[in-house]
Chain A
Amino acid sequence: NTKITQSPRYLILGRANKSLECEQHLGHNAMYWYKQSAEKPPELMFLYNLKQLIRNETVPSRFIPECPDSSKLLLHISAVDPEDSAVYFCASSPGNERLFFGHGTKLSVL
């Protein structure tokens, strides 16, 4: 799927700050960040619908999303923790419909 691009593809961090980026070329109104740990199902972190944020209240405050425009999504991470090691997927959908995922960013925390 080249219509939802994420960068970087792999990320190895100590206790540093970093931002993940996502851009979708599908004209979708809704964009999401999901976290997938090990072989667990994806877990919704944040949802933007027409740039309005809906958050999962269980997500630690060190994760800060940003939606500069309707096709772009950022995830700022400050002072990562080992429990943050996971694959972070960006996703988008036209609205309350079919969900398309990017290829993910694999974060490894040292």
Chain B
Amino acid sequence: GDQVEQSPSALSLHEGTGSALRCNFTTTMRAVQWFRKNSRGSLINLFYLASGTKENGRLKSAFDSKERYSTLHIRDAQLEDSGTYFCAAEGAGYNKLTFGKGTVLLVSP
């Protein structure tokens, strides 16, 4: 089965609100990355975490290797936050990065 389970698959937010995306892992992962695919199709690296939490502006991510999950929190959502968000986790092998299926986020006025 899938090693990375990402949820929700789709999310609608009004401007100014917030929510969280989550990835659960079926095995122990050594690091996680979060990406956003924007309207122009570019894949932007948002975070790389080997442990703990990181914050960048209105985004905050956490990774717990022992509990096998990672989260991406978005607060005060803006229209430009719309896009598809992917988590990707690194397993035991060299750069064996496994992507989640993605979350399609739509932020509306």
Contacts and interface: CB of A to CB of B under 8 A. Distances in A.
Interface of A: 1, 30, 39-44, 47, 49, 54, 87, 89, 93, 96-101, 103-104, 106
Contacts of A106: 41
Interface pairs A-B: 5 shortest CB-CB = A41-B99, A98-B48, A101-B43, A103-B42, A96-B95
A99 B94 contact: no
Contacts of A40: 101-102
Interface of B: 31, 33, 35, 40-45, 48, 84, 86, 88, 90, 94-95, 97, 99-102, 104
A98 B102 contact: no
Would you call the interface of chain B mostly helix, strand, loop, or mixed? strand
Nearest to A103: B42
A24 to B, nearest CB: 14
B101 A98 contact: no
Contacts of B35: 101
Q: Which of B42, B48, B95 has the most CB of A within 10 A?
A: B95
12 contacts: A1-B42, A1-B44, A41-B86, A42-B86, A42-B99, A47-B95, A97-B31, A98-B48, A99-B88, A99-B97, A101-B43, A104-B42
